Amino acid sequence: ELKVEQNPLFLSMQEGKNYTIYCNYSTTSDRLYWYRQDPGKSLESLFVLLSNGAVKQEGRLMASLDTKARLSTLHITAAVHDLSATYFCAVGGGSNYKLTFGKGTLLTVNP
Amino acid sequence: DAGITQSPRHKVTETGTPVTLRCHQTENHRYMYWYRQDPGHGLRLIHYSYGVKDTDKGEVSDGYSVSRSKTEDFLLTLESATSSQTSVYFCAISEPSGGETQYFGPGTRLLVL
């Protein structure tokens, strides 16, 4: 059974600081997805990582995938308040394109 | 944004009552999924569909059934609602040729009293 662990689950950081969210998974996969969820809203796709060594960047967020280590990271650079949200990683590669989600990281960026 | 709607968006019901949630898509995607989201659990897959009349169970399927008679509609039924089924329910769609990303609907908040 595929297990996906995110850490930390809660992250409070100051504006302007850098931090990394980690996503570890238990079985081989080369399909990793990052989503963002604002309070009371749906999930929005952020990044799709489909190969070992893949790196994607959008604004202050950068995601990477190391399939050998079964690890993806979401790096936040110079955080701003607008980045406050819950971030989920999800691992694919299963039958019928199913995804297994981590429990999410609640990020709060304080002024 | 992917064309996905869910109805109703909010529902309050009583224990023992059957409830049906609807997911409607205008993207002609082959795959559709139902998830529930609960604090501390992330998203958990209830059922999914890989084509019209083709469905299968996810990890938390007990107490739920689904039907898909048309490409665009995927129905989730709580056969006899219980308080443990109070949750936020999300529908998602995907198309393998589109990179397999799942796109999510707006969600349905269900409260079972």
> Within the 32-91 window of chain A, which residues sit less than 8 Å (CB to CB) from chain B?
33, 35, 41-45, 48, 50, 88, 90
Indicate if the pLDDT at residue B9 is higher than 70. yes
Q: What is the pLDDT at residue A75?
A: 98
Is the CB of residue A33 less than 8 Å from the CB of residue A89? yes
Confidence of residue B65 (pLDDT cuts 50, 70, 90): very high
A31, A97, A101: residue with CB nearest B42: A101
Q: What is the pLDDT at residue A28?
A: 85
Confidence of residue B40 (pLDDT cuts 50, 70, 90): confident
Q: What is the pLDDT at residue B1?
A: 55
